[in-house]
């Protein structure tokens, strides 16, 4: 039997952790291997558990491998590529089980993909997965197949899966906006307190390290050890045993060992706090920020802060990131601390990675998220939320989406779709600024009449104005009806407008509820306005046949809910439409 030589489907350009399994697309060539455990699948393939590779899959899998390698070589995120491989294995495993009569090859892959998206949609309807999860799975696999098949339109668009709509609403009012910022500031204060409390002297000093917080609380960090108050063997009166003595001796040696072997949890905690502050100040992605390399930095002053550049002897390099002026001293203090603790590392944030984690794996901030924040009662803000808070603050301060998108390194569409959050306070401010500029009544247009008809814009009460009637002030439609300068218009449109205004006043009067002393006077205002409007319609009806037809037509339109454009939105609002 001839030996089959398979193409190399690994990713040698990726840096793996000490115990991380290298990526390999070979399982996609074997029936049933895509759903096997990643750690054991290579041995199982070698032992012949999954039989021989399926030849008709080689072309498709090789094309997929080429697309993923090209993405990595072009500078794409390794996390994104890993997510694509994981989701491709999920899709492949389903296709092997559900589409046994159809081979997985270039010819049938589009149809198989559409059947898979229907399966995902069915799971969404059964509520076994969320709509966002289904869209993410389908979108990731589609992005790979689109390049493999050289499609002009996305394969996802030919399916019934759509991105779930998320209605953007203000959090709950002005106070909610303020509360969100207050929580962010409290989290920032906690991070700065941790940074200040974990100086080089404190890290190498005796345990526990005491970190005073501005809230009055105090953190006690044992650098990976259990707190002495929780250990029975350290409490007075406990009778030591031989095993106990060994534990006490090991703990004592651990506390005396003032190196990164024992103090790395403290160093990592400060690095996590520094990284979160750095992201909040620069707006960089976590995947970008935690992989930055140490450079010789130079600062170029800008309007609101500094451009941080990579310094070179003959010229300055490209801009690495921008920071606010107040953050420069914090950043420089961190660089000095980092130099004293991690003198041999070239990473800007040199986390000590235990358990064989890869250098490309970002930190999870578990210490802050699960222990420190719940203990102190401070809300934890992940990097994404910190960036979103920063972007929305810039957007509200500048009122310039294009400028904010440029600062955040996004397109304007991405900024408004993903990051922008509605603010009730901003909306109120914009409405207040809008109406004086575009509403003729508030702009002071002398030719405008708020009620149906015309006037000269000079309010003057009629001689026989009742005491309880609305006073003319060119600000309310009811006041126009009792103004000496108000004039009717001899047209069908005017009669239609009068009939609609009377209908609106009828709705207002029916739903009137006095809310304070003197409320009955307000109801009397509405009654008097109704009397004037009814009198106008009566005069038009009795003057001649043509005007009578105008009145009949106007009343029929009102009966059919065909309202005048000037009053339609007010009537619908009053009716609760």
- pLDDT at residue 39 is higher than 90: no
429, 450: one domain: no
**Tokens of residue 268, six digits:** 């990592």
Of residues 64, 65, 62, 70, the one with CA closest to residue 142? 64
Residue 168 maps to a domain: no
Least confident of 247-261, 276-290, 296-310, 544-558: 296-310
The whole domain housing 400 covers 388-438
Residue 315 — very low, low, confident or very high, per pLDDT cuts 50/70/90?
very low
Residue 180 maps to a domain: yes
- pLDDT at residue 515 is higher than 50: no
- pLDDT at residue 261 is higher than 90: no
- pLDDT at residue 409 is higher than 70: no
Average pLDDT over residues 230-245: 56
- pLDDT score at 517: 46
Residue 143 — very low, low, confident or very high, per pLDDT cuts 50/70/90?
very high
Higher pLDDT, 296 or 186: 186
Higher pLDDT, 356 or 181: 181
Least confident of 21-25, 265-269, 341-345: 341-345
What is the pLDDT of the chain when averaged over all its residues? 81
- pLDDT score at 78: 82
Distance CA 378, CA 188 (A): 10
- pLDDT at residue 260 is higher than 90: no
Of residues 233, 258, 252, the one with CA closest to residue 244? 233
Number of structural domains the chain divides into: 4
131, 76: one domain: yes
456, 422: one domain: no
- pLDDT score at 352: 86
- pLDDT at residue 233 is higher than 70: no
360, 418: one domain: no
Final residue before a domain boundary, out of 101, 123, 158: 158
Higher pLDDT, 283 or 110: 110
pTM above 0.85, yes or no: no
- pLDDT at residue 168 is higher than 60: no
- pLDDT at residue 175 is higher than 60: no
- pLDDT at residue 17 is higher than 50: yes
136, 223: one domain: no
pLDDT one-digit tens code per residue, 81-138 = 999 999 999 999 999 998 888 889 999 999 999 999 999 999 999 989 999 999 999 9
424, 451: one domain: no
415, 456: one domain: no
Residue 21 maps to a domain: no
- pLDDT at residue 384 is higher than 90: no
Strands 316-324 and 305-311, bridge-based pairing: antiparallel
459, 413: one domain: no
- pLDDT at residue 412 is higher than 80: no
Higher pLDDT, 440 or 184: 184
Residue 14 maps to a domain: no
Q: Which residues contact 108 (CB under 8 A, 6 or more apart)?
A: 102
Residue 514 maps to a domain: yes
- pLDDT at residue 196 is higher than 60: yes
- pLDDT at residue 140 is higher than 70: yes
431, 453: one domain: no
Residue 3 maps to a domain: no
Of residues 477, 454, 574, the one with CA closest to residue 532? 477
Of residues 182, 95, 171, 87, the one with CA closest to residue 135? 87
Residue 60 — very low, low, confident or very high, per pLDDT cuts 50/70/90?
very high
Number of other residues whose CB lies within 10 A of the CB of residue 481: 26
213, 345: one domain: yes
- pLDDT score at 304: 65
359, 248: one domain: yes
Higher pLDDT, 354 or 491: 491
- pLDDT at residue 406 is higher than 70: no
- pLDDT score at 317: 57
**473, 441 contact by CB (below 8 A):** no
16 burial class (0-12, 13-18, 19+ CB within 10 angstroms)? middle
Distance CA 28, CA 113 (A): 15
Average pLDDT over residues 298-315: 64
Distance CA 82, CA 320 (A): 26
């Amino acid at each position: 039997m001839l030996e089959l030589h398979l193409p190399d489907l690994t990713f040698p350009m990726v840096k793996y952790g000490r115990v991380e399994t290298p990526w390999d697309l070979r399982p996609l060539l074997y029936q049933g291997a895509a759903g096997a455990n990643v750690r054991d699948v290579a041995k199982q393939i070698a032992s012949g558990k999954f039989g021989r590779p399926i030849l008709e899959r080689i072309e498709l899998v090789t094309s997929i491998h080429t697309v993923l390698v090209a993405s990595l070589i072009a500078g794409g995120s390794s996390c994104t590529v890993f997510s694509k491989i994981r989701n491709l294995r999920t899709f492949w495993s389903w296709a092997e089980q559900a589409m046994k009569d159809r081979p997985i090859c270039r010819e049938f892959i589009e149809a198989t993909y559409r059947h898979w998206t229907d399966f995902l949609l069915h799971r969404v309807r059964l509520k076994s997965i969320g709509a966002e999860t289904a869209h993410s799975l389908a979108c990731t696999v589609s992005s790979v197949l689109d390049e493999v098949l050289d499609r002009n339109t996305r394969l996802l668009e030919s399916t019934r899966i759509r991105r779930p709509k998320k209605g953007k609403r203000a959090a709950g009012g002005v106070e909610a906006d303020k509360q969100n910022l207050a929580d962010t500031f409290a989290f920032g204060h906690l991070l700065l307190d941790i940074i200040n409390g974990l100086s080089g002297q404190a890290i190498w000093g005796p345990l526990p390290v005491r970190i005073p917080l501005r809230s009055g609380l105090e953190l006690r960090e044992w650098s990976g050890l259990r707190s002495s108050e929780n250990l029975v063997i350290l409490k007075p009166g406990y009778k030591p045993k031989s095993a106990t003595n060994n534990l006490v001796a090991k703990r004592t040696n651990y506390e005396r060992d003032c190196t990164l072997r024992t103090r790395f949890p403290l160093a990592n905690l400060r690095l996590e706090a520094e990284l979160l502050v750095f992201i909040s100040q620069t707006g960089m992605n976590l995947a970008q920020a935690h992989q930055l390399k140490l450079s010789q930095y130079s600062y170029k002053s800008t309007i609101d802060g500094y451009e941080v550049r990579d310094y070179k002897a003959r010229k300055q390099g490209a801009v690495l990131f921008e920071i606010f002026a107040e953050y420069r001293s914090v950043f420089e203090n961190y660089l000095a601390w980092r130099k004293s603790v991690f003198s041999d590392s070239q990473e800007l944030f040199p986390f000590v990675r235990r358990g064989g984690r890869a250098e490309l794996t970002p930190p999870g901030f578990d210490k802050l998220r699960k222990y420190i924040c719940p203990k102190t009662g401070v809300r934890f803000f992940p990097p994404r939320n910190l960036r979103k808070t920063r972007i929305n603050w810039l957007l509200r301060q500048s009122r310039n989406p294009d400028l904010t998108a440029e600062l955040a390194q996004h397109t304007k569409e991405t900024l408004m779709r993903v990051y922008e959050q509605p603010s009730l306070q901003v909306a109120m401010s914009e409405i207040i600024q809008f109406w004086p500029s575009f509403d003729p009544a508030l702009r002071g247009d002398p030719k405008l009449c708020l009620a149906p008809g015309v006037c000269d814009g000079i309010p003057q009460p009629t001689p026989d104005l009742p005491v309880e009637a609305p006073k003319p002030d060119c600000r309310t439609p009811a006041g126009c009806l009792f103004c000496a300068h108000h004039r009717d218009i001899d047209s069908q449109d005017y009669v239609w407008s009068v009939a609609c205004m009377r209908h609106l006043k009828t709705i207002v009067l029916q739903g009137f509820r006095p809310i304070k002393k003197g409320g009955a006077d307000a109801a009397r205002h509405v009654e008097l306005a109704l009397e004037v409007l009814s009198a106008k319609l009566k005069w038009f009806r009795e003057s001649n046949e043509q005007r009578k037809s105008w009145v009949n037509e106007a009343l029929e339109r009102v009966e059919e809910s065909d309202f005048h454009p000037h009053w339609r939105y007010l009537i619908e609002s009053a009716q609760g439409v």
